[in-house]
Structure 1
Amino acid sequence: MTPLRRSPARAHDAAAMSPVPAEGPAAKASVVPPATPAKPPKAPPRPAPVPVLDTSWERRIRSGRLVPDHSIDLHGHNLAAAHVRLDRALGDAVSQGWRVLLVVTGKPRPAPEPGETRRRGAIRAEIGDWLARSPHAHRIASVRAAHPRHGGDGALYVILRRPG
Structure 2
Amino acid sequence: MSPPPPPPAIPGGLDSHWERRMKGGRIVPDLTLDLHGHTLDAAYDRIMAGLDQARAMDARVVLIIAGRERPVDPADRSSTRGAIRAKLLDWLAASRHASTIAAVRRAHVRHGGDGALYLILKRRS
TM-score, length basis structure 1: 0.64
Look up the match of 1:124.
85
Look up the match of 1:105.
66
Q: Using the TM superposition, give the Cα deviation of residue 154 of structure 1 relative to its aligned residue in structure 2, in angstroms.
A: 0.4
Look up the match of 2:52.
91
Question: Pick from 38, 52, 63: which aligns with 1:77?
Answer: 38
Alignment coverage as a number of residue pairs: 112
Q: Please, which runs of 5 or more residues in structure 1 have no aligned partner?
A: 1-47, 113-117
**Whole-angstrom CA distance in 2 between matches of 1:127 and 1:65:** 24
TM-score, length basis structure 2: 0.83
In the alignment, residue 100 of structure 2 is paired with which amino acid? R
Give the SS at the match of 2:22.
helix
In the alignment, residue 82 of structure 2 is paired with which amino acid? G
Q: Using the TM superposition, give the Cα deviation of residue 109 of structure 1 relative to its aligned residue in structure 2, in angstroms.
A: 3.4
Q: How does 1:1-164 map to 2 (within 5 A)?
A: 49-50=10-11, 52-109=13-70, 118-164=79-125
Q: Is the 8 A contact 1:74 1:103 kept in 2?
A: yes
Q: Which has the higher contact order (CA 8 A, sep 6+)?
A: 2
Q: Is the 8 A contact 1:49 1:138 kept in 2?
A: no
Moved more, 131-140 or 97-106: 131-140
CA deviation map 1:120-163 (0-9, x unaligned): 21000100111012111110000000000000000000000000
Q: Using the TM superposition, give the Cα deviation of residue 52 of structure 1 relative to its aligned residue in structure 2, in angstroms.
A: 3.3
What stretches of structure 1 move > 3 A for 4+ residues in a row? 109-112
Q: Please, which runs of 5 or more residues in structure 2 have no aligned partner?
A: 1-8, 74-78
Q: Is the 8 A contact 1:71 1:101 kept in 2?
A: yes
Provide the aligned C-alpha RMSD in A. 1.9
Q: Is the 8 A contact 2:70 2:83 kept in 1?
A: no
**Whole-angstrom CA distance in 2 between matches of 1:51 and 1:120:** 32
